Amino acid sequence: MTVLVDFDPRNLDTILHAVGPNTRVLTSLDALDHYLLENRHEYVVVLAPSVGVSAAFDLAERMRIERPALGVILVQELVDATLLTDALRSGIREVVSRHDLGGLTKAVQRANEIADRIREREFGPDRQPPPPSDGEHEPGKVITVFSAKGGCGKTTLATNLAAALAERGDREICVLDLDLSFGDVAIAMQLYPTHTIADAVSMNSLDEFGLRGLVTVHSPGVAVLAAPMEPGGAENIPAPVISGVVNNLRRMFDAVIIDTPAAFSDQVLAAFDLTDMFLLISTLDIPALKNLKLTLETMDLLNYPRDRWRIVLNRADSKVGLTVSEVEKTLRLPISTQIPSSRAVPMSINRGVPLVQEDPGHPVSVEIRRFADRIVSVSSPEPATGATERRGLLRRKARNS
């Protein structure tokens, strides 16, 4: 459905005829804001001349951040080069003369064709957008992949786990790249995101509808909210923004898988506070296991419940003089899953396709899929009581660890 905003109903019939049938007519921008808030899959808005150029530009600039997929068409009495330049700069998709009704009809048709392609890309050719949230459904599970040592395979686990959880076709999964300085999720999945999590900072209101325009679809059921592409992005994204992003994403998706840097930063701790399950990953080498042991001690200090921890041993079949039983004895915790090593893993990353999708029968894919099945069978625990106060006192100690 197309939305037409016109403050002056006297000329409504003429414009309405050109816009086409099944058009929702609104008489104020406040009404438009309210309507878009409740209809997140609306993609085309036509602004009549009565709206005014300044108000139209302000709306388009705001929607460019909050709803980048929304196509805004401006109708004016007179159209000149200056107006066109300023309109396109503000984010308006097309400007049409009020006297060019045929041009308006074609502009609306083009906008709806783009909307159809966006819907197809986002939800697949045979799928419909999910119904708007009524606030009553159970929030999605937040799963955080963490290691205090780089190179253990966090990104590989996060992306393949997302693919495994989404492969049945009845779940929507989002991978959030929280490695704000050196995030690799977009590269590993061969994505070229138009927007990243950095764009959430400038949003007037951080909500589901705004975030929907920031995620990039990788494949049916799998979306990515990418890390900043420019260096220095981490410094400009405060921890409260991360909390808002995670809270909204869990309302939009069945599961949010967070890929993290190898550090207890304020942003990482903000995500930890909202995490239902921690996947703590290591490899069979002394430096990685030492860092994992320090991680477990730190998480104990921060009062993150142990029943949310899952120890993941990556490249578990490596012949390096350490055994799984020795690792479990050292950590005093069981290993939840053992992922074998394989050259197929980096090869799949280079092709931008998770191995779970590219080769479902591969031993790595089979083990990750088994682990994913166990994850979804575990209900989300209640928040730990009294944890926030202790975390506030121990954050500095955690980062130093």
Each residue of 312-327: pLDDT tens digit?
Answer: 998 877 776 777 788 8
The beta-carbon contacts of 378-384 under 8 Å, at least 24 apart in sequence, are 378/277, 380/139, 380/141, 380/276, 381/276, 381/305, 381/307, 381/308, 384/303, 384/304, 384/305
Q: Give me the residues of the chain with pLDDT under 50, please.
A: 126-136, 380, 383-393, 395-399, 401
Structure tokens at 4: 């037409």
Closest listed residue to residue 253, CA positions, set 212, 193, 201: 212
Closest listed residue to residue 39, CA positions, set 136, 138, 140, 129: 129
pTM of the predicted model as reported, rounded to 2 decimal places: 0.64
Structure tokens at 212: 């929907």
In this structure, the number of other CB atoms found within 10 A of the CB of residue 31 comes to 14
- pLDDT at residue 391, rounded to an integer: 46
pLDDT digits (tens, 9 = 90+) for 98-139: 888 888 898 888 888 887 776 666 555 544 444 444 444 578
If you search the block for the tokens 């986002």, which residue do you land on?
122
Which domains does the chain carry?
A: 2-123 (3.40.50.2300), 141-400 (3.40.50.300)
CA distance 213 to 190: 19
If you search the block for the tokens 């909050």, which residue do you land on?
66
